[in-house]
Amino acid sequence: MTVQQQYTHAPSERFPYTLAQLRSDNAHVSFPEYPDEETLAEYGVYPVTPVVPDYDPSTQVLESTGCAYNAELQRWETTFQVRPLPPPTAPESVTRAQGKAALITAGLWSGVMSFVASIPDPTERALAEVALHDTQEWRRSSPFFNAAATALGLTGEQLDALFLAASKIEL
């Protein structure tokens, strides 16, 4: 993997700063395709060395916070902040098979079937059966699935967790 060289424009504190910006900012100057460091320095542009701190990519993410001049090494370096990975978010939909498998695995399938059977209005019950058995995908925003979750005593977070678990099931 080739990493593109990053630059900073020290006088304006712009980072990242590209060669295209240098050319645009100095339209009257003809630069070679890849100017050397001496030419760049004449315009206040300096290469930035990426200095990646230790981190665990399975639990953390790096966020670039800009660049700073390292006087000891006499170079510009990227600065990073190590943050924990954000928690996974529930998908908007899963396949019907994934949803059923997640409910079965969680021991909730019979409760969902009982909920559908307990719907007193025959039309509403038939629509619930369509939502449960005939749709190709189950949507997290579905009124039926939210009503079923409420009837089973599940919180929104628990329903999100079920959708997340379902999204990881491969049948």
- pLDDT given for residue 2 in this prediction: 46
CA distances (Å), 170 to each of 97, 150, 164, 166, in order?
9, 27, 13, 9
- pLDDT given for residue 153 in this prediction: 95
Residue 3 has pLDDT above 60, yes or no: no
What average pLDDT does this structure show over 11-18?
84
DSSP type of residue 89: P
What average pLDDT does this structure show over 80-87?
92
Computed over every residue of the chain, the mean pLDDT equals: 91
Taken in order 72, 73, 76, 80, is the CA torsion positive or negative?
negative
Question: 0.95 exceeded by the pTM?
Answer: no
**pLDDT band at 6; cut points 50, 70, 90:** confident
Who wins on pLDDT, 140 or 12? 140
SS3 17: strand
Q: How far apart are CA 53 and CA 68, in angstroms?
A: 14
Residue 1 has pLDDT above 70, yes or no: no
Exposed (0-12), middle (13-18) or buried (19+): which is 25, by Cβ within 10 Å? Answer: middle
